[in-house]
Structure 1
């Protein structure tokens, strides 16, 4: 909902999620700017308080999480990824955060996991595939 964005604090409140809890997360400046631009210039004029809307039967309806999942899956299929999902995006994000130095606790916070064990599963690297990647010989300069 639009009211869940605190523009001055740079945060967004997540409510009514799968975990049935409310969390306040940071809203990065670039994301906030993109969201503000969307709200000012792209979002249909509507009294509906949801941020993202679709028109259905002449009424503006909030976009559901299922619609987002389908959109992600279709986008993956368009680029040739047959087993692509929102879950795969979460896994990729977790791996990238760890690769770039984030702690497991920081990754857990971003993914909103209660257990670090769950985060460990998401952030698991594919060691067999990585071992097949050739690395430069030490001292070779490449």
Structure 2
């Protein structure tokens, strides 16, 4: 079990909206620690994007690199152990890490796309425009972003606390 690796993977999905395949393809060379950025190559849109590296994500990555990443000549960021060898993670391995993390916090059958949706909703709730959310998620279409950023108002109403002084 690699708790630091799992935490860093989840932070990449939750804070940056990275897809499982994008996380699996990250290289140490993609991170610019001085500038606080991550360069995304070989993405779904087939273009190169430079994203800001949130502080919490950077800290999780640094912790993983310092304490858990195996010494390996490969520039791949994340590794898993297979048949007593360290190999770069696959998209499937990243999906499993995220699925297990979600299950541990009570979100059954959830994956990296749920975390992209969560980021989109969080950005909208904090005042970001749909265009800004589209830029973070690297969507070409605002319609796609609108689907991601849809708030589930009925469910939110069910978990909302009663207003102080109200009857319920």
* TM interval, short-chain normalised: 0.7 to 0.9
Residues 34 and 74 from structure 1, CA distance in 2 versus in 1: closer, same or farther, beyond 3 angstroms? closer
**Runs (5+) with no aligned partner, structure 2:** 1-26
Q: TM-score, normalised by structure 1?
A: 0.83
Q: Deviations over 1:30-59 (max 9, x none)?
A: 322332232122211110100111122343
Structure whose residues are more often helix by fraction: 2
Indicate conservation of the 8 Å contact 1:48/1:60, yes or no.
Answer: no
RMSD value over aligned CA atoms?
Answer: 2.4
Aligned residue in 1 for 2:100: 74
3-state SS in 1 of match to 2:118: helix
Q: CA deviation at 1:136?
A: 3.0
Q: CA deviation at 1:87?
A: 1.3
Aligned residue in 2 for 1:49: 75
Q: Distance in 1 between matches of 2:82 and 2:155?
A: 45
Q: Which of structure 1's runs of 4+ aligned residues deviate more than 4 A?
A: 130-135
Q: Distance in 2 between matches of 1:44 and 1:104?
A: 40
Aligned residue in 2 for 1:136: 163
3-state SS in 2 of match to 1:136: coil
Q: TM-score, normalised by structure 2?
A: 0.71
Q: Does 1:31 align with 2:57?
A: yes
**Paired residues, what number?**
140
Indicate conservation of the 8 Å contact 1:108/1:115, yes or no.
Answer: yes
Indicate conservation of the 8 Å contact 1:4/1:12, yes or no.
Answer: yes
Aligned residue in 2 for 1:20: 46
Q: Distance in 2 between matches of 1:98 and 1:76?
A: 22
1:110 to 104, 118, 136: 136
Structure scoring higher RCO (CA < 8 A, sep ≥ 6) equals 2
**Runs (5+) with no aligned partner, structure 1:** none
> Which structure: larger Rg?
1
